[in-house]
Amino acid sequence: MKKSMPAAPDQFEWYVNPDLGQAPLVFIGLGPEPEKIPEWFDLPSTGTFYYVENPAFIDQAGDDWEQRVPANFTRLTPDQFSGDIARLSHVARYLPAQRAFPSFFAPLTARLILPADLPSCKSKTVWLPHTEDDLLGKELAFAFRKKGFTVSFIDHEALGKHPGAALPELLAKGVPDLFFSVNFKGFDHFGLGFHILREAGVDVAVWLVDNPFNVLPGVKSVFWKDAKLFVTDHTFIGPLTETGAKWVKHLPLAASPKHFSEAGKLPPHGHDLEDKLVFVGRSEFPAREKFFARATVPASLREEVSETTGATRFDYHWWRAQQPEVPLWPGNDVRNIGAGAELAGRNWKFTCLESASPVTVFGDDGWKEIENADVRPQVDYYAHLPAIYRAAAATLNVTGMQLPAGLTQRHFDVWCSGGFLLTDANPGLAIFPDELVREISFDTPDEIPALFERFRNDSPEKNKLRDAWQELILREHTYENRIATVLESLGL
């Protein structure tokens, strides 16, 4: 996005150290009219002043820009502007360039504002930019603690709005080993916080639990390409790498035995489930209309999806293949692909639930248009859900189309709580043994009634399958297992 670079003295932010006296003066960016700087700031024509400039800025600032730099200004490389140099100098930052080229200037700003000789935390420490009430944050904190880490919950909103103020103050108290974000929570749009953490020596990792390309439009700088990325759906490793990501690993969702094994009790509206097929979930994610407000789904593709019958999965990658001209990043156009996948996922869920009827649904009123569905109010995740899974004859999982090979919490929670799961044949199920998957999965919606009838009542076959699944989940697919993978992958 092209924008003009204003030339005026009030575009510079000054860091003058009163303890230094006659110290060197370094400009971080000179702006489009460098020849005016001596006049603006009453600088002498003798003596040497220093500056760091982005080559991309110079390329766009005019062919004679370098000739207009005053003769007594000496250019430094970014590496030469170290933290020690920053602390021993007076510094002026040209702010418009900081915003236009954040990945070049953010590391320099980090060196400027970080305190010297930052202490390390006394024990192995991870910062989670979550609240303690956040469901996933709670699971991660428990798993990290089981691995011997001290967990600190960090105010993600403060970090996102004011990283230059919040992070140096926090780091002065102790540098953690790891900053672990979910979906880039805790980062500002332009990545200053990321570079502050990196300059302080912190390992920075981001777990993309949702579709990465629904998350990345909110990231306005290329810093995300340098982060250690984990994805719940392995099929996004290729697209992320093609778009510039340097490090991506697969990390599926998992189970939490502490919170799900024997927890929960049935809510007042959770009665009479012993012979019923149950589905739990929202008919759409919160603020869906707002999220896709400016996205458009081509009418021809919408029609193709609505008219096609059979086992075709109109998942995110299918929609991308139909619109190859849409860039995955930067910009918001990629949400056109996501909007199509969301439409297809909603159609798929409603088709499966209609085929499964009669089905008992714990969710919102959006499900009430399904014929023969017993729609009941939503339930609390920890207080009621485990008991519902245990009480039902079986729980139905229908995977959306945003994550072509992504699993849901149901794939882990149902078995962990002692329930029995029936699921659509999602490619992500390949992390489990095929002999277990094929017994409880369906390819087309019309297979659901017969599959449920097979497992409606308790039988030696059903109990053996349930026990095998529960043992597998508790042995290999807990959040403690996942955090062990994170720590091993990061060398921690």
Instruction: Tell whether 445 is covered by a domain.
Output: yes
pLDDT of residue 22: 85
Question: Across the chain, how many H-helices and E-strands are there?
Answer: 22, 17
Nearest Cα residue to 136 out of 484, 479, 410, 486: 479
Nearest Cα residue to 267 out of 107, 376, 423, 404: 376
Does residue 11 register a pLDDT over 80? yes
pLDDT of residue 309: 59
Instruction: Tell whether 118 is covered by a domain.
Output: no
Q: Each residue of 143-170: pLDDT tens digit? A: 999 999 999 999 998 898 889 889 999 9
Q: Higher model confidence: residue 177 or residue 298?
A: 177
Pair (350, 410) in one structural domain: yes
Pair (310, 325) in one structural domain: yes
Q: Provide mean pLDDT across the span 244-248.
A: 97
Pair (332, 447) in one structural domain: yes
In one-letter notation, the amino acid at residue 367 is W
- Return the ∠ at Cα 476 (arms to 475 and 479), rounded to 5°: 100
Q: Each residue of 20-37: pLDDT tens digit? A: 778 999 999 999 999 999
Q: Report the DSSP beta bridge partners of residue 179.
A: 127, 204
Q: Provide mean pLDDT across the span 340-344.
A: 93
Does residue 255 register a pLDDT over 70? yes
Instruction: Tell whether 265 is covered by a domain.
Output: yes
Pair (328, 459) in one structural domain: yes
Measured between alpha carbons, how far is 169 from 159 in angstroms, rounded to an integer? 11
Pair (199, 301) in one structural domain: no
Q: Higher model confidence: residue 231 or residue 47?
A: 231
Domain boundary among 113, 142, 157: 113
DSSP H helices, 325-365, are 335-356
Q: Provide mean pLDDT across the span 253-274.
A: 86
Encode burial over 378-387: b for 16+ CB neighbours within 10 A, e otherwise.
Answer: ebeeeebbbb
Does residue 346 register a pLDDT over 70? yes
Task: Point out the least confidently predicted range of 8-22, 44-58, 65-79, 285-299.
Answer: 285-299
Pair (96, 203) in one structural domain: no
pLDDT of residue 308: 66
Instruction: Tell whether 276 is covered by a domain.
Output: yes
The contacts of residue 211 (CB under 8 Å, 6+ apart) are 233, 236, 316, 338, 341, 402, 403, 406
Does residue 177 register a pLDDT over 80? yes
Q: 400: burial class by Cβ within 10 Å (0-12, 13-18, 19+)?
A: buried
Pair (109, 129) in one structural domain: no
Q: 428: burial class by Cβ within 10 Å (0-12, 13-18, 19+)?
A: buried
Residue 234 carries which DSSP code? G
The contacts of residue 356 (CB under 8 Å, 6+ apart) are 277, 279, 396, 445, 448, 449, 452
- Return the ∠ at Cα 440 (arms to 434 and 446), rounded to 5°: 120
pLDDT of residue 311: 61
Pair (211, 152) in one structural domain: yes
Any idea of the CA torsion for 477, 479, 480, 486, to the nearest 10 degrees?
100
* Order of strands, sheet of 49-52, starting from the edge strand that comes earlier in the sequence: 12-15, 90-94, 25-28, 49-52, 73-75
Pair (271, 299) in one structural domain: yes
Q: Provide mean pLDDT across the span 208-218.
A: 95
pLDDT of residue 153: 94
The contacts of residue 86 (CB under 8 Å, 6+ apart) are 26, 108, 111, 112
pLDDT of residue 259: 78
Pair (74, 212) in one structural domain: no
Instruction: Tell whether 140 is covered by a domain.
Output: yes
Measured between alpha carbons, how far is 104 from 89 in angstroms, rounded to an integer? 20
Element (H, E) at 451: helix 448-455
Task: Point out the least confidently predicted range of 8-12, 291-295, 317-321.
Answer: 291-295
Measured between alpha carbons, how far is 352 from 396 in angstroms, rounded to an integer? 9
Q: 186: burial class by Cβ within 10 Å (0-12, 13-18, 19+)?
A: buried
Q: Is residue 231 a contact partner of residue 213, using CB atoms and an 8 Å limit?
A: no
Q: Report the DSSP beta bridge partners of residue 128.
A: 153
Pair (358, 411) in one structural domain: yes
Q: Which domain holds residue 67?
A: 9-113
Q: Provide mean pLDDT across the span 193-199.
A: 95
Instruction: Tell whether 62 is covered by a domain.
Output: yes
pLDDT of residue 295: 85
Residue 121 carries which DSSP code? P
C-alpha distance from residue 251 to each of 213, 284, 481, 491 (Å) = 17, 24, 10, 16
In one-letter notation, the amino acid at residue 262 is E
Does residue 223 register a pLDDT over 90? yes
Q: Each residue of 72-121: pLDDT tens digit? A: 999 999 999 999 999 999 999 999 998 899 999 999 999 999 988 899 88
Q: Is residue 28 a contact partner of residue 108, using CB atoms and an 8 Å limit?
A: yes
Q: Higher model confidence: residue 22 or residue 325?
A: 325
Q: 366: burial class by Cβ within 10 Å (0-12, 13-18, 19+)?
A: middle
pLDDT of residue 449: 96
Measured between alpha carbons, how far is 288 from 300 in angstroms, rounded to an integer? 22
Q: 43: burial class by Cβ within 10 Å (0-12, 13-18, 19+)?
A: middle
CATH of residue 301: 3.40.50.2000
Q: Each residue of 420-474: pLDDT tens digit? A: 999 999 999 999 999 999 999 999 999 999 999 999 999 999 999 999 999 999 9
Q: Each residue of 390-421: pLDDT tens digit? A: 999 999 999 999 999 999 999 999 999 999 99
pLDDT of residue 330: 92
Q: Is residue 199 a contact partner of residue 227, using CB atoms and an 8 Å limit?
A: no
- What are the structure tokens assigned to 407, written together? 């699993």
Domains contained in the chain, number: 3
Domain boundary among 79, 113, 147: 113
Q: Provide mean pLDDT across the span 471-482.
A: 97
Residue 218 carries which DSSP code? G
Domain boundary among 80, 113, 146: 113
Does residue 285 register a pLDDT over 90? no
Pair (135, 96) in one structural domain: no
pLDDT of residue 352: 93
* Order of strands, sheet of 277-280, starting from the edge strand that comes earlier in the sequence: 373-376, 359-362, 277-280, 394-397, 421-424, 441-442
pLDDT of residue 99: 86
Q: 370: burial class by Cβ within 10 Å (0-12, 13-18, 19+)?
A: buried
Q: Is residue 435 a contact partner of residue 464, using CB atoms and an 8 Å limit?
A: no
Instruction: Tell whether 147 is covered by a domain.
Output: yes
Instruction: Tell whether 1 is covered by a domain.
Output: no
